[in-house]
Amino acid sequence: MRPRRTPARRADAGNAVAEFVLVAALLSLVFAAVLQIVLAIHVRNTVTDSALAGARHASLVGHTPDQGAEVARELITTAISPSYAEDITVEEDHEAGLVTVTIRTPVPVVGFLGPGGVWELRGRALMEDPS
């Protein structure tokens, strides 16, 4: 003999499909948000590392600040996109013996696009002593 369906069980019939759709949509949004955060961290770390590499290059004896900026620009262009390497400045502080590379780059909001703010990331290196 089969058990009889109670009215409560009949009301739940077919709910699994609706629940799956709602949960899958929510999980998709969470996954996309995590991917976006990972992309933003990747861009920040890559630009910061490029600024450090440019500062190290510019701090070497016989190299100019423009060469350091070019190294940073090349690294960012190769790793991310040329649009992230448009605003690079290099400053030499002879009193402190430092070279500072400053890169202003957009914050990726939706993929690599979006009206996000601007990060100002710096890399510093000690200047070599020419003697």
pLDDT in tens, 59-116: 999 999 999 999 999 999 999 999 999 999 999 999 999 999 999 999 888 766 666 7
8 inside domain: no
Residue 93 belongs to a domain: yes
**Segments forming the whole domain that contains residue 51:** 13-126
Does residue 67 contact residue 92 with C-beta atoms inside 8 Å? no
- Domain presence at residue 41: yes
Q: Is residue 3 in a domain?
A: no
Instruction: Report pLDDT for 76.
Output: 97
Q: Are 72 and 103 in contact, with CB atoms under 8 Å apart? A: yes
Q: Is position 120 within any domain? A: yes
- What would the pLDDT profile of 14-35 be if each residue is shown by its tens digit? 788 888 999 999 999 999 989 9
- Total domains, the chain: 1
pLDDT of residue 6: 62
The verdict on residue 2 lying in a domain is: no
Residue 54 has pLDDT above 90, yes or no: yes
Residue 69 located in a structural domain: yes
Structural domain includes residue 74? yes
